[in-house]
Chains A and B, each alone.
Chain A
Amino acid sequence: MSRQAIIRVKDLVARYGEDTILDNITFDVYEGEIFVILGGSGCGKSTLLKHLIGLIRPYSGRVTIDGDDISHCDDETFQKILRKIGVLYQSGALFGSMTLAENVALPIEEYTDLHKKAIETVVNMKLKLVDLDGYENHLPSEISGGMKKRAGLARAMALNPKILFFDEPSAGLDPITAIELDNLINHLNRSLGTTMVIVTHELESIYEVAHRVIMLDKRTKGIIAEGDPKYLRDRSQNAFVKHFFNREAEKETFSPKGL
């Protein structure tokens, strides 16, 4: 794997009003890797993701995507950056009034000069890639949660982005469907070389797909661990990290007192 950083986050501070959510976050994501942002509920994972994809501008600090600063750029550069990324939202975020084929075709129609037949072929290829061929004319309301995520993934990949972002891909899925999605992520990463950034707290999924993780902490509002997940599980010196990776509640959180 090459060690060229494709996403650089430097001294990022995120705030909602007066509340600081993330304080001085710095990390790099390298080209072609599956990078997982991890942490307990309410630690700012989704906020960090929104900063990475440009939905929120940082209070201070910078986020660079493939050399362009997404936090302080003009509209033209911003559009250029958006063309390089694809996002799979937690719910799939498919447009309810359009069929799966129309959903996937939307960015292709907007950004390419392909004629209708060619677009149909590309859409078919994308849907096949996520194992949804045959469902072209289904509406999002007619398919299951796992299928919605796969269709969302097909749409996110429609223009072959360099980086794919996933917001809690396994949330709300049964274990088998979650494993299938993990396998799909691994497969796409290996075959297309796409860099993937995943926000999750599903440990099973992390061991399955992550090359590298960072772990956010609600108390320090920063990164408390960075590295290979299995290494962190076995060797981390930080008690909270160790508890998290070993699925243990911290001892002091539940200690019934006698009468």
Chain B
Amino acid sequence: MTEFKKLQSCQYGISESEKGGIILHVQGSMDEFSAGALIKDMSRFLKESPTSSLTVDLEKVTYLNDFGALVLVELKRLMTSGKGLFRLENVNENVNKILSVLSFDALSERVSFAKPPIPGSLVRLGDATIRHASDLKYLISFIGSVCLSLIHVIRHPKSLRIDDTLSYMQKTGVDALPIVGLISFLLGLIMAFMSAVQLEQFGANIYVASLVSLAMTRELGPIMTCIIVAGRSGSAFAAEIGTMKVSEEVDALFTMGFDPTRFLVVPKIIASVITVPLLVLFSDIFAIFGGLVVGVGMLDLTIGSYVAQTIKTLTIFDVFLGFTKGAVFALLIAWVGCLRGFQVKGGAASVGQATTSAVVSSIFLIIMTNSIISVILRYWE
């Protein structure tokens, strides 16, 4: 009498065949609920007691799906790999049909997907070079296209989409005021607080005002503001154009005879170049105010003396420098954001990638350009 072991959806038992070898009797449903356990049990059994032939008796199988077929494929593979014989017995019509549809014979021969050959390192190097060269070509043509569009708008101011430009000015500038104000205020506060500890020892409290105003106006104001703008607006530009590309809106613009660069990029660049320098000024004022709070609250300075020291420290050139940096960085942010948007190919994942890339590239360009400007000024002043 064969002893049966119960699994979740079926039971099985093993008996010895009269002709030698073993017979596996399966009863019930051969499906995904029992496949794993059955394969594991039988693998262990065949390892512990190797046999010359395995017959699977399917007479009492009530249901078999692709997972059931997988069990048979695995058992066949185990047997044939050890030069043993594998056979199915009492295959009823339904089971036979399913095994036919799944091409049982072909399945048991092919156990893994063929991996595509990995090209040689020279081929990959060549591919990467061609890809980067084509990216560079696109980058240069995009710069050219943006310049031509800007020249066209300067020569034909009526062709500028005023409504769009105003809308982007609001999104890039006005809507960013609270966050730029808050971060700049806190930055000024922290700078004053940190420097106060040191300067107080020398009785040089008043120079907190100089430090905060000069550092913020010349360097940190433009950088912090533009990093915020890159995160808010640069990413939005890339996502907007990228989504338009995915939904064929850019193609539609093109076939309607519009220049997508003039239509989509120019308003964003103009809006950013106008609003970001103003945001930088706004940021400077809030940072100085942050410093003033620490100066007056902690260092016993008067509001008058703090403001007087700030005015004494700052020159028109410092303010102008911060303002100009804001405009240059804004140009870079809008340009990179739009470029990444136009580089979108495919679907949603590509839009996400473009957005990330827009922010990362913008921040890199901002810091790099700032360094270049600093070096130039060092020798120029």
| CB atoms of A93 and B249 under 8 A apart | yes
| CB atoms of A87 and B252 under 8 A apart | yes
Q: Mark A88-123, 1 if CB is under 8 A from B, else 0.
A: 011101111000000000110011000000000000
Chain B contacts for A110, CB-based, 8 A: 256-258
| CB atoms of A91 and B257 under 8 A apart | no
| CB-contact partner of A258 in B88, B100, B257, under 8 A | B100
Closest to A254 in B: B101
A7: min CB distance to chain B, Å:
15
A236: min CB distance to chain B, Å:
31
A192 in contact (CB, < 8 A):
no
B103 in contact (CB, < 8 A):
yes
Please, how many angstroms separate the alpha-carbon atoms of A256 and B100 in the complex?
Answer: 5
B200 in contact (CB, < 8 A):
no
| CB atoms of B255 and A54 under 8 A apart | yes
Chain A contacts for B101, CB-based, 8 A: 256
B57: min CB distance to chain A, Å:
15
Q: Mark B232-258, 1 if CB is under 8 A from A, else 0.
A: 000000000000100111011011111
Please, how many angstroms separate the alpha-carbon atoms of A23 and B99 in the complex?
Answer: 41
| CB atoms of A89 and B100 under 8 A apart | no
| CB atoms of B255 and A82 under 8 A apart | yes
Chain B interface, DSSP helix/strand/loop, else mixed: helix
B65 in contact (CB, < 8 A):
no
A56: min CB distance to chain B, Å:
10
B76: min CB distance to chain A, Å:
12
Closest to B258 in A: A110
| CB atoms of A79 and B257 under 8 A apart | yes
| CB atoms of B256 and A82 under 8 A apart | yes
| CB atoms of B257 and A259 under 8 A apart | no
Closest to A158 in B: B256
Task: Identify the interface centre among B247, B256, B257: most chain A CB within 10 Å of its CB.
Answer: B256
Chain B contacts for A87, CB-based, 8 A: 251-252, 255
| CB atoms of A107 and B252 under 8 A apart | no
B15: min CB distance to chain A, Å:
23
Chain A, range 104-152, C-beta contacts under 8 Å to B: 106-107, 110-111, 152
| CB atoms of A55 and B257 under 8 A apart | no
Chain A contacts for B254, CB-based, 8 A: 55
| CB atoms of A259 and B256 under 8 A apart | no
B16 in contact (CB, < 8 A):
no
Please, how many angstroms separate the alpha-carbon atoms of A108 and B104 in the complex?
Answer: 63
Chain B contacts for A90, CB-based, 8 A: 248
Chain A contacts for B99, CB-based, 8 A: 259
Q: Mark A45-77, 1 if CB is under 8 A from B, else 0.
A: 000000001110000000000000000000000
A257 in contact (CB, < 8 A):
yes
Closest to B100 in A: A256
Please, how many angstroms separate the alpha-carbon atoms of A256 and B69 in the complex?
Answer: 15
Chain B contacts for A53, CB-based, 8 A: 255
Closest to A94 in B: B249
Chain B, range 96-137, C-beta contacts under 8 Å to A: 96, 99-101, 103-106
B91 in contact (CB, < 8 A):
yes
A162 in contact (CB, < 8 A):
no
B89: min CB distance to chain A, Å:
12
Please, how many angstroms separate the alpha-carbon atoms of A226 and B206 in the complex?
Answer: 88
Please, how many angstroms separate the alpha-carbon atoms of A98 and B299 in the complex?
Answer: 55
Chain B contacts for A96, CB-based, 8 A: 244, 247, 249
Chain B contacts for A258, CB-based, 8 A: 96, 100
| CB atoms of A95 and B257 under 8 A apart | no
Closest to B255 in A: A87
| CB atoms of A259 and B96 under 8 A apart | yes
B123: min CB distance to chain A, Å:
13
| CB atoms of A259 and B255 under 8 A apart | no
Q: Mark A26-62, 1 if CB is under 8 A from B, else 0.
A: 0000000000000000000000000001110000000
Please, how many angstroms separate the alpha-carbon atoms of A107 and B252 in the complex?
Answer: 11
Q: Given A256-B100, A259-B105, verify A91-B247 contact (CB < 8 Å).
A: yes
Chain B contacts for A91, CB-based, 8 A: 247-248
Please, how many angstroms separate the alpha-carbon atoms of A152 and B252 in the complex?
Answer: 10
| CB-contact partner of B257 in A82, A94, A155, A257, under 8 A | A82
Chain A contacts for B256, CB-based, 8 A: 82, 106-107, 110, 155
Please, how many angstroms separate the alpha-carbon atoms of A107 and B256 in the complex?
Answer: 7
Closest to B159 in A: A110
| CB atoms of B248 and A257 under 8 A apart | no
A80: min CB distance to chain B, Å:
9
A85 in contact (CB, < 8 A):
yes
Please, how many angstroms separate the alpha-carbon atoms of A55 and B254 in the complex?
Answer: 8
A221 in contact (CB, < 8 A):
no
Offer 9 A-B interface pairs, CB within 8 angstroms, sorted by A.
A55-B251, A85-B255, A89-B248, A93-B249, A95-B249, A107-B257, A110-B258, A111-B257, A257-B105
**Using a CB–CB distance below 8 Å, which chain A residues touch chain B?**
53-55, 79, 82-83, 85-87, 89-91, 93-96, 106-107, 110-111, 152, 155, 256-259
Q: Which 8 A-B pairs have the closest CB atoms?
A: A93-B252, A93-B248, A82-B257, A256-B100, A89-B248, A87-B255, A93-B249, A256-B101
Give me 12 other A-B pairs in contact (C-beta within 8 A), A93-B251, A93-B252, A259-B88 excluded: A55-B254, A82-B257, A87-B252, A91-B248, A96-B249, A155-B256, A256-B100, A256-B101, A256-B103, A257-B105, A258-B96, A259-B99
